[in-house]
Amino acid sequence: MKKTLLFLFTFLFFANSDAQNIFKDDFSTYTINQELSGQGPWSNSPIFPNVGIGACLPLSASEPCFGTKVIGQSVSYPSYGSSINSILLGPVQDGVARAITPIVAGGDLYLGLVLNITSAPTTAGSPVDFLRVINSDATQVTYRLLVRDAGFGYNVGIRKGASNNATVYTGSLFNYGENVLVILKYSHLNGPDDDIVSAFINPIFGDGEPANPNITNADGFDQSGAIDRVAFRMNYNVAASMPTGVLGLVSTSTTWEGLSFLPLGVNLFEANNVTISSVLENGQLQISSKNIMNNVQMKLYSTTGALLEQKMVNIPTGNSPIELVSKLSSGLYIVQLYDESGEKSSFKIITK
């Protein structure tokens, strides 16, 4: 039986389409000048749905607390994304969080966000974390993000696990009042205290993950478990310990490429003049190429990341069929091709 294959997208923007995004939130659909808690999946409830991190701590009993607000300040970063809204960053606000679903209990977890810092605490002010990634035990934090003033700019810091663990700061300074992309990577390893948190600051995002992060930190016991929450800890009541500014474009993924907010588009493999027909005929995928391509590795995935088929193929010039062993039901699938140099091309197809 013939099944029609329609191109949902011709090619992906990146050369990697096994990108497994967990969530992306640009805050663009939320009401500005209102609390983030209660909008979308964000909550400041420490009880149900158990994603919050506690109520605001006022400076004194007579002073009010305010919830973290969505504001109409835009943030953007090349090849990563842009948004008309962001959220306020500062002290004496409610902590607010959202669940990571599915829970991440192994492998790598990437978290990206754009910061625009207007002030940062000094070392004497004892900087505290304003972002926490938390595991399923409400008392344990997997890793934290901090900033501290450095005179003509600020440093970005990361800390693993407990609050008394060492914080590693960047040697480089970043400018106040500018959009800065921060990508945090948490790598689960096999030992009890060898997990690594890394930070990439202002990378050329479209070029893929850099070989070397700006900073790494493996200090302390692995309080990883099952990572299930991203929380913004704005509820600290020592103003001198908290930065001010805005943040936005928050994304989590199990791959670097999956963090992007940009729409899908053309990727580099199109330069090889390879196209794929819109019809799967008798279980065969029709490929047309203007170049001879030998020893091409082909992989077929479901959208859940399950590898359905893998084989080595030679692609001659002109039209040629690739027979698929897998029986594809209606739905979305991902095909990846690796040429002899290891360059990867990915695209999505949908069967009806």
Handedness of CA 247, 249, 253, 256 (dihedral sign): negative
Task: Kindly list the averaged pLDDT for each block of 10 residues, start to end, along the chain of length 352.
Answer: 37 41 93 91 70 58 74 92 91 79 90 98 88 82 95 96 91 97 95 92 90 95 84 74 94 91 47 52 69 85 80 81 79 77 70 60
**Which pLDDT belongs to residue 265?**
37
**Which pLDDT belongs to residue 343?**
75
**Which pLDDT belongs to residue 234?**
66
260 and 114 Cβ atoms separated by less than 8 Å = no
DSSP string computed for 117-166:
EEE---GGG----SEEEEESSTT-EEEEEEEEE-SSSEEEEEEESSTTSP
**Which pLDDT belongs to residue 64?**
66
Residue 177 Cα distances to 26, 126, 153, 241, angstroms: 19, 22, 10, 19
ω into 102 cis (within 30 of 0): yes
Calpha distance 271→291 (Å, rounded): 10
State the Cα angle at 109 between 81 and 40, rounded to 5°: 55
Please count the other Cβ atoms lying within 10 Å of the Cβ belonging to residue 306. Answer: 8
**The tokens of 205 are what?**
């995002």
CB hemisphere CA count around 44 (13 angstroms): 22
**Which pLDDT belongs to residue 306?**
80
**Which pLDDT belongs to residue 191?**
82
257-297 per-position pLDDT tens digit: 889 887 543 333 343 456 665 445 566 776 777 778 888 88
**Which pLDDT belongs to residue 55?**
56
Residue (of 342, 305, 347, 300) closest to 324 by Cα position:
300
Residue type, 304: T
**Which pLDDT belongs to residue 263?**
56
**Which pLDDT belongs to residue 7?**
38
DSSP string computed for 93-108:
EE-EEEEEEEEE-SSE
**Which pLDDT belongs to residue 73?**
95
Kindly report the pTM of this predicted structure. Answer: 0.70
Calpha distance 244→142 (Å, rounded): 23
285 and 59 Cβ atoms separated by less than 8 Å = no
**Phi, psi (degrees; rounded to nearest 5) at 141:** -105, 130
